[in-house]
Amino acid sequence: MDWVLLAPISAFIAILFSIYLYSYVYGKSSGTAKMQEISGAIKEGARTFLKREYKTLAVFVIIMALILTVTLGVGLGMGLEIGLVYIFGAVCSAIAGFLGMEVALIANGRTANAAREGLNKAFPIAFRGGAVMGLSVVGLALLGVSIVYFSTGRPDLVLGFSFGASALALFAKAGGGIYTKTADIGADLVGKVEMDLPEDDPRNPAVIADNVGDNVGDVAGMGADLFDSYVASIMAVMILGASTSLQQSADSSFGDPSAYISLPLIFAGLGIIASIIGVFLVRVGKHGNPGKALNWGTYSTCAILIALTFLITYYLDFPLGIWGALAVGLIAGVIIGITTDYYTSIDRMPAKRTAESSKTGAAINIITGFSYGLISIFPPLLGIALASAIAYFICELTVGAGFGVYGVGMSAVGMLSIVGMIVAGDAYGPIVDNSKGIAEQAGMEEEVIDIADRLDAAGNTAKAITKGFAIGAAGLTVLALLAAYQEIIQTRMNGAQISFDLMNPFVLTGAFIGIAMPALFSAMLMLGVGKNAFRMIEEIRRQFREIPGLKEGKEGVKPDYTKCVDIAAKGALKELLPPSVLIIVVTLAVGFVGQWVASQIGPPYEFGGIQALGGYLGGSIFSGLIFALLMSNSGGLWDNAKKYIEAGHFGGKGSDAHKAAIVGDTVGDPFKDTAGPSLNTMITVMSLVASVFAPLIVAFALLLT
């Protein structure tokens, strides 16, 4: 179908538009010499870390590409392309993260400088800087998928591309999260609690490392994360669309059944167009509300996408049930964003009550925030459940038998089609956070800092909504990936039916192992943050103790920022590898070891390892979503409860309530910025590992039987 060319064309337009926005941001004044000095230090630290991280990850990517080439490409005759597309996916994901971080490093100082002229001058610089990241992610992702599919015609190779993107995203999100929270915890516990310094005070040795962390974690890391989910959702639907049984049951009035493979590409292309229009629509007045402007951009993008996809569906005579599934996913994404906003926003009851509880100390603050985090799990999971069920039955009943799971995958595509706008809002957050820090460290007027504060408050909520959206999208995506795994297995076994019945002891065992993996992964990441933060805290205390006049702020006395940046970087690179590699190793072990055990038992459990891996994926999906939502939402809630007190409530800055809220926020830091957002990447990677190695597991099973 000629319409499938919309995918690479819209992807190319997105890249061109991101270049235009980059030039807009770059053309603004970078501010005073002091602003440029601070911004330059942040830039140097972020670039140094990302360079170190990518060097480390390059070794892993090359080793994994060789394994894929030998085992699947040569051993199973899938061709040498599998290793190449894996590298291509990792490279595209890395480039998207790098480009987004580069513009964030340029936009932060320019946003701070523009705040001197008013909120309406600063906001567009920050938002358009974030939009460069958003459009780079979707442009490179969809262009990469299009290149792989158009050049090979094989959805299974798109799976290899997706695996490359996901593996890099897992490392980038975990590493960036450990870095940013190492610095943040050290800066808060010593600077704020022990030394009673304001946030982003230039006397704090960890302040530059903290600002660097915002970029490597929330920009480069989150960009790679959503790149991964976006590609995985498209790929899963393409594999389901290639299903022989689905194509045989396709409605004859639809024409060529192979068009079901191309359909997610067309809708993704329309999503890019809607996101570009949405970026143009985001405006804020001199006394406007940045949060409302960001929300308006998201809602208008959703409305435009629903209209565009309906028109194309009608024009091309697609079954309307598929459009309905896409619309359901998109609406579910908005609802998840709204509920996340309620449980994390500084203006809502949960944050205010958590702030009030801080008057009795840190313990009650933590209990209250954790409890609201638990409550916040229910609405998004209900939304995911209803979206998947409605999408399933819409397609099963209106399109044809066998199309239900395809509908679930299409609902994930719908939710992720507006990733360009979602990432723009997310990247806006660390840009305005950095700009506030630069304004304070440069000694700007109180009015400028107040404007930066207003921008930052909207950024915190935008980041929380993005995390909720990303987790919800990952939930629908991995359900489609589980179906894709089953489809690949059955295709390799010549149509044999493989089910994941919980009464099967292999499935049940795999499910219990899968349930435990998100908890183990989260613990390893947060222990990594704790160990690295310990080193950071000791260094900050040493500098205050040994550098005369540092705490008093004597003229000419500066802390050693570089030492703290180095501690955060080295520790993050050391701690990111074990949990990330463990996830891949355990996933493969469940499949291969389980299959060896099953072969010793024999019928009717001769394919027990394959079934155990299906149970393992199911268990990890459900457990992973619970942990991810709990940690992301409770962490965001603790953060905004602290900010509510800092706004002058319950004693304001420096009060006992404020110090208690800082402790709660510090507990929440690795929740919301390290473990929580890494979990949706983790469950996606596990699902992709299972699907990529499924042909090898089947070959192993057939060899043993």
- Coil vs helix vs strand at 555: coil
Range of lowest pLDDT (7-11, 307-311, 473-477, 588-592):
473-477
Locus of tokens 């639809």: 254
Name residue, tokens 């209209």: 307
What's the predicted TM-score (pTM) here?
0.89
Question: 391 to each of 3, 142, 232, 383, 384, how far by Cα in Å?
Answer: 24, 24, 18, 12, 10
Among 181-190, 523-532, 584-593, the range with the most confident prediction by mean pLDDT is 584-593
Place 464 in a pLDDT band, splitting at 50, 70 and 90: low
Q: Can you list the alpha helix ranges (DSSP code H) found in 376-403? A: 378-398
- Among candidates 73, 114, 61, 649, which has minimal Cα distance to 358? 649
Residue 267 confidence (pLDDT): 94
Mean residue pLDDT across the chain: 87
Under 8 Å between Cβ of 650 and 489: no
Whether the predicted pLDDT of 685 surpasses 80: yes
Counted domains in the chain: 1
Domain region containing 346:
2-704
- What the block records as the tokens of 442 is 């440069």
CA 609 from chain centre, in angstroms, equals 30
Rounded to a whole number, what is the largest CA-CA distance in the chain?
81
- Sort residue 200 into left (φ over 0), alpha (ψ -120 to 50) or beta: left
Question: What tokens were used for 312?
Answer: 């194309």
C-alpha distance from residue 305 to each of 298, 499, 554 (Å): 11, 36, 56
For residue 294, pLDDT beyond 90:
no
CA pair distance 396, 251, nearest whole angstrom: 12
- pLDDT at position 576, please? 81
Highest mean pLDDT among 234-238, 273-277, 482-486, 536-540: 273-277
Residues 6 or more apart whose CB falls under 8 angstroms from that of 508 comprise 502, 615
The C-alpha atoms of residue 353 and residue 369 are separated, in whole angstroms, by 9
DSSP per-residue codes, 623-674: HHHHHHHHHHHHHHHHHHHHHHHHTTSTT-TTSHHHHHHHHHHHHHHHIIII
- Give DSSP secondary structure letters for 232-279: HHHHHHHHHHT-HHHHHTS-GGG--TTHHHHHHHHHHHHHHHHHHHHH
- What average pLDDT score do residues 187-204 get? 80
Is the pLDDT assigned to residue 63 strictly greater than 70?
A: yes
- Which positions ≥6 away from 641 have C-beta within 8 Å? 351, 352, 354, 355, 358, 365, 369, 661, 664, 665
* Nearest alpha-carbon partner for 53 in 84, 102, 94, 89: 94
Region for 251 from its dihedrals, namely left if φ exceeds 0, alpha if ψ lies in -120 to 50, beta otherwise = beta
Which two structure tokens, joined as six digits, stand for 671?
């929740």
Instruction: List pLDDT tens digits, range 391-430.
Output: 999 998 888 777 888 899 899 898 888 888 888 888 888 8
pLDDT for 253 equals: 41
Residue 547's φ and ψ, nearest 5 degrees, are: -100, 105
> Rounded to 5 degrees, what are φ and ψ at 652?
70, -165
**Residue for token pair 């090359």:** 62
Cα(374)–Cα(30) distance, integer angstroms: 43
* pLDDT interval class at 13 (50, 70, 90): very high
Query: Residue 77: is its pLDDT beyond 80?
Result: no
The per-residue pLDDT for range 93-121, each reduced to its tens digit, is 888 888 888 888 899 889 989 988 888 88
CB atoms within 10 A of CB 555: 5
Where does the pLDDT of residue 610 fall: very low under 50, low under 70, confident under 90, or very high at 90 and above?
A: very high
Tokens of 701: 């099973």
Q: Give the tens place of pLDDT for each residue, 537-577.
A: 999 899 988 888 888 878 778 888 888 888 888 888 888 88
453 closest CA partner among 644, 590, 600: 644
Residue 656 has pLDDT above 70, yes or no: yes
Amino acid at 291: G
